[in-house]
């Protein structure tokens, strides 16, 4: 078996063990394989092994890869999205994970209405309030989501966060816990057109802790495909 498939199997196994450890159904946690910078030849075997959700962080790479894969693949936009590029991707992606500001929301809403659909988005939250990271700060999240709830071209489906990098993932457990608590508060508000179905949290370095804290989507790149250059 190729090294990539060996690593994929290990990741799947570890996801399952983490879910069971937390008393969760492993089927409630989806693997999003993050394929940025990974060539198509290296991704194809992973798709053949049943992975059907792929994540990219750049619009150009995303639009170049889409036609090279079967139609059943769900494409997720996980990186910073510039407003002017919404038009070229928002009707091709299953989920945008990086909705973090009003100007972007207005553009997505505009195109969603133009296409006659509600574009599925997660609100990216900068839980740790790191100055170098994107995402709305936690105390502004409820107000932002209340505004999004008024936009017929957007369907808010949950929250996304990136935890600070730490050698010991236990140190960022509180970040994942805080995101889940925020999702609970949003749910309690009962905003229209807003669901907290998804918590997109956990990457190669910390996905097991994120699953224990309630992740429904983990975004994993290097642990499957190897270190990026």
Ligand X SMILES: *Cc1c(COP(=O)(O)O)cnc(C)c1O
Q: Which residues bind ligand X (CB under 6 A)?
A: 34, 36, 57, 78-79, 162, 203-205, 219-223
Nearest CA to 213 among 171, 161, 178, 185?
A: 178
Nearest distance in Å: CB 30, ligand X: 14
Q: Which is nearer to ligand X, 169 or 221 (CB)?
A: 221
Q: Which is nearer to ligand X, 18 or 203 (CB)?
A: 203
Nearest distance in Å: CB 134, ligand X: 9
Angle (nearest 5°) at CA 119 between 118 and 122: 120
Is the CB of residue 37 less than 8 Å from the CB of residue 60? no
Nearest distance in Å: CB 50, ligand X: 19
What are the helix (H) ranges across the chain?
3-21, 40-48, 59-65, 86-89, 102-115, 138-148, 173-189, 207-212, 222-225
Q: Which is nearer to ligand X, 10 or 187 (CB)?
A: 10
Instruction: Report, in angstroms and rounded to the nearest whole number, the Rg of the chain calculated over CA atoms.
Output: 17
Q: Which is nearer to ligand X, 198 or 219 (CB)?
A: 219
How far apart are alpha carbons 144 and 147 in whole angstroms?
A: 5
Q: How far is CA 100 from the centre of its chain?
A: 13
What residue number has its CB nearest to ligand X?
221
Q: Which is nearer to ligand X, 77 or 108 (CB)?
A: 77
Nearest distance in Å: CB 123, ligand X: 14
* Tokens found for residue 227: 């270190």
Nearest distance in Å: CB 155, ligand X: 20
């Amino acid at each position: 078996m190729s090294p990539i498939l060996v690593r994929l199997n290990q990741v799947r196994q570890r996801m399952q063990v983490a879910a069971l450890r937390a008393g969760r159904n492993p089927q409630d946690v989806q693997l999003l394989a993050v394929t940025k910078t990974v060539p198509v030849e290296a991704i194809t075997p992973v798709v053949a092994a049943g992975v059907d959700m792929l994540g990219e962080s750049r619009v150009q790479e995303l639009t170049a890869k889409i036609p090279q894969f079967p139609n059943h693949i769900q494409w997720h936009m996980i990186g910073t999205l510039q407003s002017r590029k919404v038009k070229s991707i928002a009707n091709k992606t299953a989920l945008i994970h990086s909705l973090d500001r009003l100007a972007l929301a207005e553009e997505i809403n505009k195109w969603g209405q133009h296409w006659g659909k509600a574009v599925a988005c997660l609100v990216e939250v900068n839980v740790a309030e790191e100055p170098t990271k994107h995402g709305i700060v936690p105390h502004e999240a409820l107000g932002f989501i209340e505004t999004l709830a008024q936009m017929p071209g957007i369907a808010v489906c949950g929250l996304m966060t990136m935890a600070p990098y730490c050698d010991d993932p236990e140190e960022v457990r509180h970040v994942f816990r805080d995101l889940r608590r925020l999702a609970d508060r949003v749910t309690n508000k009962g905003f229209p057109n807003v669901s907290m179905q998804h918590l997109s949290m956990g990457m190669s370095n910390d996905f097991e802790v994120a699953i224990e804290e309630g992740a429904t989507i983990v975004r994993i790149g290097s642990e499957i495909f190897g270190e990026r250059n």
